[in-house]
C-alpha cells in the first residue's frame, strides 16, 4: 500500500522555481531516501509533505489524506524533523518530551509515550539536564526520540545525520533501522550517497528540482554499472 504519493508537484518561491514537477511514491514500511546536492529541492519537498508549505501545483496524499485539503488530518499521522533543528533551550530533555507528547496523548498513554521517548533518546541521567548543555549528537537523539515516540505512520527527516561525527551518525542510522523494522515508514533526505545506500530500501535522486532516477540502490547501481550511488548520480545528471 502507498503511504505517500506525490503527483506533478511544483513549488515556486516568487520567481524561483525550487521544485519543477516531481512524482514519486513511498510504500508502507519502507525507508525511502530523497537524495541530491544542496539546493536541489529536498527541504522544499519535505516541507510540502509536512503541510508547512503550500504546493504551487500538483497534489500530495499521505495515508489517503490530501495535504492541501486536510492538513489537520495529515498532521495526525506524520512526524517531521527539520534540518538542523533545535529544541527549547531552557527545558530539560524530559520536559521537552513531555511538552511534545502532550499534543498526542494524555493519561497513561501519555506516560508511556514519554517513557518510549526517553528510551529512544537513551540519554541516561542527562535527560534531566537543560537542553542548552547537550552536544549535537545528544540533541539529535532527543529530537529523533520526539519524532518517533508518538508512533507516526510516516516519519519525515531532513538531513538527519548531517553535521554528526561517525559514531553519532551510526547510532542515528541504527535507530532509524529499528523503527523501520517496527513498521514505521521513513522518508529521509540526504546529500550523503553512501549513507543512503546503507540505509534505504528505495531512493529518488533529485537535481535542480527534478527527480532524475528512482529505484532500489542495487537496481540503480546495476543499471548504470556503477560501484556506488555517487557514480550513478553523476552519470544520471549528465545524461
Ligand X SMILES: Nc1ncnc2c1ncn2[C@@H]1O[C@H](COP(=O)(O)OP(=O)(O)O)[C@@H](O)[C@H]1O
Contact between 153 and ligand X by CB under 6 A: the answer reads no
Return the bridge partners of 62, or none: 4, 65
Question: Can you tell me which of 78, 121, 169, 220 binds other proteins, judged by CB under 8 A?
Answer: 78
Number of residues that make up the chain: 239
Closest CB 104 distance from ligand X, rounded Å: 27
**Helix, strand, or coil (residue 16):** strand
Residues within window 15-34 making contact with ligand X, judged by CB under 6 A: 16, 18
Q: Give Cβ neighbours of residue 21 (< 8 Å, ≥ 6 apart).
A: 8, 9, 10, 58, 210
In eight-state DSSP terms, residue 153 is: S
SS3 188: strand
Determine the Cα–Cα distance for residues 13 and 209; give it in Å rounded to an integer.
12
Torsion, Cα of 204, 199, 4, 158 (10° steps): -80
Site for Mg ion in 28-57 (CB under 5 A): 43
Q: CB neighbours of 34 closer than 8 A, spacing ≥ 6?
A: 42, 45, 46, 187, 188, 189, 190, 203, 204, 206
Q: Report in angstroms how near the CB of residue 183 gets to other proteins at its nearest.
A: 20
Task: Write the binding mask 30 to 69 for other proteins: x where contact by CB under 8 A, - elsewhere.
Answer: -----------------x--xxxxx---------------
Contacted entry of ligand X, other proteins, Mg ion, none for residue 103, CB cut-off 5 to 8 Å set by kind: other proteins
**Among the listed residues 40, 92, 185, 190, the single contact to ligand X using CB under 6 A:** 40
Give min distance, CB of 43 to Mg ion, in A: 3
Which positions touch other proteins (CB under 8 A)?
A: 13-16, 47, 50-54, 72, 75-76, 78-89, 100, 103-104, 146
Which positions touch Mg ion (CB under 5 A)?
A: 43
Amino acid at each position: 500500500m502507498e503511504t505517500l504519493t506525490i503527483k506533478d508537484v511544483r513549488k515556486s518561491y516568487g520567481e524561483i522555481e525550487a521544485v519543477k514537477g516531481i512524482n514519486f511514491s513511498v510504500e508502507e514500511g519502507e525507508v525511502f531516501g530523497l537524495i541530491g546536492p544542496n539546493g536541489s529541492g529536498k527541504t522544499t519537498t519535505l516541507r510540502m509533505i509536512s503541510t508547512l508549505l503550500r504546493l504551487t501545483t500538483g497534489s500530495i496524499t499521505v495515508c489517503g489524506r490530501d495535504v492541501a485539503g486536510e492538513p489537520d488530518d495529515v498532521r495526525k499521522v506524520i512526524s517531521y524533523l527539520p534540518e538542523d533543528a533545535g529544541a527549547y533551550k531552557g527545558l530539560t530533555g524530559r520536559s521537552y518530551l513531555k511538552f511534545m507528547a502532550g499534543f498526542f496523548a494524555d493519561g497513561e498513554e501519555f506516560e508511556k509515550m514519554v517513557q518510549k521517548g526517553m528510551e529512544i533518546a537513551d540519554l541516561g541521567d542527562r535527560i534531566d539536564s537543560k537542553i542548552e548543555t547537550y552536544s549535537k549528537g545528544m540533541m539529535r537523539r532527543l529530537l529523533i526520540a520526539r519524532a518517533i515516540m508518538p508512533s507516526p505512520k510516516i516519519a519525515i527527516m531532513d538531513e538527519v545525520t548531517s553535521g554528526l561525527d561517525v559514531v553519532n551518525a551510526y547510532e542515528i542510522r541504527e535507530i532509524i533501522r529499528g523503527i523501520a523494522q517496527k513498521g514505521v515508514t521513513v522518508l529521509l533526505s540526504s546529500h550523503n550517497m553512501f549513507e543512503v545506500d546503507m540505509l534505504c530500501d528505495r531512493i529518488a535522486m533529485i537535481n535542480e528540482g527534478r527527480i532524475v532516477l528512482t529505484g532500489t540502490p542495487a537496481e540503480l547501481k546495476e543499471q548504470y554499472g556503477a560501484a556506488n550511488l555517487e557514480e550513478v548520480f553523476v552519470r544520471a545528471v549528465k545524461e
